[in-house]
Structure 1
Amino acid sequence: MTFSICVREEYTDDDGERQTRFGVAVTTRLPGVGTLCPFASEHGAVATQSLVNVELGRKGIAYLDDGLAVEDALQSLLNADDGAAQRQLHGVDADGTFTFSGEECQGWYGHTGGENYTVAGNLLAGEAVIEAVASTYESDAFGDAPLAERLIDALEAGHAEGGDKREHLPVQSAALIVENTEDDPFGAYYDDLRVDATETPVADLRETYETARRGQEILEAEYAEEAEDDVEGDDAGD
């Protein structure tokens, strides 16, 4: 019912320090996917889908936060899950990746990945869906655009290849989460977005992203002006 992507990227922050960001994005032909499937923290990203077991995502991220490797964390959860054959579970941490598709998932289903990302989907129009997601992310990887925007690009490519094959279901949803290792209590306003019920999930997610990004740019400009005014006021008082 779903396809999703998890990624890890290293980058240099404004202070010249090396940081890591993690992202996950997902869309499906059901409402509210953002509350069920995507999970991320400053230690990794996880997507749980097919016959969804939300605890695989919640506990998976908790295990990554505790320092477990993604392969060990997610495989241990599957080992303890009686319904593992019906699950899809994949994710990334600071060092590795993990992908799993149970043999009882419904077709078309499958997964793929690279050195720093994973993609999985089920009940899809075909393998071309996840191939498009992967190739689009690879072509944009570490580009100038924010990761949130590039994740939407990847979802859009999969959607264009047919996405979730259940065309009789009009209500769809999409979501994305981006986290990083920077010591920033606020982060970007566009790094945790969801569209819960719509007939155009990826397009609506992009519109939501663009609106949130414009809002952040306006606020940043206002803060910069206030800071400049404060400096000029201090100088005038000297």
Structure 2
Amino acid sequence: MTFSICVRERYTDENGTNQTRFGVAVTTRLPGVGTLCPFASEHGAVATQSHVNVELGRKGVEYLDDGLAVEDALEALLNADDGRPQRQVHGVGTAGEFTFSGEECKPWYGDRVGNNFTVAGNLLTGESVIEEAAATYEDSAPPLGPDADVDRPLAARLIDALAAGHAEGGDKREELPVQSAALIVETTEDRSMDPYYNDLRVDATETPIEDLRETYEQAERGFEMTRERYEDADDGDNTEDAG
């Protein structure tokens, strides 16, 4: 029903402090995927799909917050799940990656582990969907990609990865026109304002990637306008006036 990507990126903030950000993005030919599949915190990102068990994502992130490695957290949850053969779950933690695709997932299904990221999907037109999503992300991921732009937000680059997979065919169920897409980005950085574009959902549309990108662009525009207006505020309370 879905393909998704989870990533971990290390970077240096404006004060020269080492930070880590985690992101997850997903799209499917069903409505409301953002309520079911993507989960993230400042300790990792998890995507749960294919006969979705939301607890794999919710508890998975909770376990990561408690200090468990991602492979230990997700494997433990899968071992306690009677529906394991139908599940697909993957994610990244502070220092590792994990993928699982049960043998009863619907074809085409599969997953891939890359350098600091994972991609997985099921009910796809073919393997090229996740390969293109992975390649597009790799090309933009600092410091690996030849086209990497360290100033371009991760949220925008996650949308690019979804767009690449979608262009390859994505979810094969063309008879289902109502689709959805979502993304979440979290970071260890303590910021006075969290960008509005780091937690976005398009719940019901026939053009999920285009709509998610437009939503991102409007949210980015709104964030920059708000930050410019209130950048001299002593605290975050004044930003409430913008709402």
TM-score normalized with structure 2 length = 0.92
What residue in structure 2 maps to residue 136 of structure 1?
Answer: 136
Tell me the amino acid that sits aligned with residue 137 of structure 2: Y
From 138, 150, 174, the counterpart of 2:157? 150
Task: Give CA deviations for 1:26-70 in whole Å, capped at 9, x if unaligned.
Answer: 000000000000000000000000110000000000000000000
What residue in structure 2 maps to residue 164 of structure 1?
Answer: 171
Task: Give CA deviations for 1:178-202 in whole Å, capped at 9, x if unaligned.
Answer: 0000112631100000000000001
Between the aligned partners of 2:128 and 2:192, the Cα distance in structure 1 is 39
Tell me the amino acid that sits aligned with residue 66 of structure 1: D
**Preserved CA contact (<8 Å) 1:29 1:170:** yes
**Preserved CA contact (<8 Å) 1:178 1:191:** yes
SS of alignment partner, residue 197 of structure 2: coil
Between the aligned partners of 1:13 and 1:60, the Cα distance in structure 2 is 27
Taking only the aligned residue pairs, the percentage that are identical comes to: 74
Structure number with greater Rg is: 1
What residue in structure 2 maps to residue 68 of structure 1?
Answer: 68
What residue in structure 1 maps to residue 90 of structure 2?
Answer: 90
SS of alignment partner, residue 196 of structure 2: coil
Between the aligned partners of 1:198 and 1:172, the Cα distance in structure 2 is 5
RMSD of equivalent CA atoms: 1.1
1:225 positional shift: 6.2
From 189, 207, 211, the counterpart of 2:214? 207
Between the aligned partners of 1:39 and 1:186, the Cα distance in structure 2 is 21
Aligned counterparts, 1:187-226, within 5 A? 187-224=194-231
Between the aligned partners of 1:102 and 1:185, the Cα distance in structure 2 is 42
1:221 positional shift: 1.4
Between the aligned partners of 1:57 and 1:225, the Cα distance in structure 2 is 39
What residue in structure 2 maps to residue 233 of structure 1?
Answer: none
Aligned counterparts, 1:42-61, within 5 A? 42-61=42-61
**Preserved CA contact (<8 Å) 1:27 1:201:** yes
Gap change, CA 1:223 and 1:81, over 3 Å in 2 = same
Task: Give CA deviations for 1:110-143 in whole Å, capped at 9, x if unaligned.
Answer: 0012120000000000000000000000000123
**Preserved CA contact (<8 Å) 1:70 1:98:** yes
Between the aligned partners of 1:75 and 1:48, the Cα distance in structure 2 is 13
Tell me the amino acid that sits aligned with residue 24 of structure 1: V
- How many matched pairs? 227
Tell me the amino acid that sits aligned with residue 156 of structure 1: A
Between the aligned partners of 1:2 and 1:56, the Cα distance in structure 2 is 16
Between the aligned partners of 2:181 and 2:197, the Cα distance in structure 1 is 14
Between the aligned partners of 1:185 and 1:221, the Cα distance in structure 2 is 13
What residue in structure 2 maps to residue 24 of structure 1?
Answer: 24
TM-score normalized with structure 1 length = 0.93
What residue in structure 2 maps to residue 78 of structure 1?
Answer: 78
**Preserved CA contact (<8 Å) 1:113 1:134:** no
Between the aligned partners of 1:185 and 1:33, the Cα distance in structure 2 is 29
**Preserved CA contact (<8 Å) 1:174 1:194:** yes
Between the aligned partners of 2:42 and 2:232, the Cα distance in structure 1 is 31
Residue segments in structure 1 that go unaligned for 5+ positions in a row? 228-238
What residue in structure 1 maps to residue 238 of structure 2?
Answer: none
What residue in structure 1 maps to residue 35 of structure 2?
Answer: 35
